[in-house]
């Protein structure tokens, strides 16, 4: 990502794949581009179980968040890329009793 003006946010280069968008592609999300899909397909050629692995990873994250909210945890710090991938920490926590507050 580059920005000609230091005070301006960097532009997103959609012509180059990004790991977070490839992950989103594996999860059947909506925030990926042709370069990400192409890279994802190349990964699947080398590792046919990559999509299942990404989904298993997301399922574990959701189980862990549900467990923690049931144990009384009400605050989560999710450090990631900021992409709104399906089944995120805040989405899962909000579906749990006690609904933690979301900070940005």
The total number of residues written for the chain in this structure: 104
At 50 the pLDDT is: 98
At 80 the pLDDT is: 78
At 4 the pLDDT is: 59
At 25 the pLDDT is: 96
pLDDT tens for each residue of the chain, 104 residues long: 554 566 766 788 999 999 999 999 999 999 999 999 999 999 999 999 999 999 999 999 999 999 999 898 888 888 877 677 878 888 888 887 666 555 55
Q: 27-39: buried (b, 16+ CB within 10 Å) or exposed (e) per residue?
A: bebebbbebbeeb
At 8 the pLDDT is: 67
At 102 the pLDDT is: 55
User: Quick one: 47 exposed, middle or buried, by C-beta within 10 A (0-12, 13-18, 19+)?
Assistant: exposed
At 76 the pLDDT is: 86
């Amino acid at each position: 990502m580059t920005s000609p003006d230091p005070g301006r946010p960097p532009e997103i280069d959609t012509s180059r794949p990004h790991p977070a968008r490839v992950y989103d592609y594996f999860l059947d999300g909506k925030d990926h581009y042709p370069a990400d899909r192409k890279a994802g397909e190349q990964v699947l050629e080398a590792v046919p179980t990559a999509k299942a692995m990404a989904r298993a990873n997301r399922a574990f994250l959701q189980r862990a968040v549900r467990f923690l909210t049931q144990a009384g945890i009400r605050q989560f710090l999710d450090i990631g890329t900021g992409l709104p991938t399906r089944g995120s920490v805040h989405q899962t926590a909000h579906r749990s009793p006690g609904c933690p507050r979301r900070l940005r």
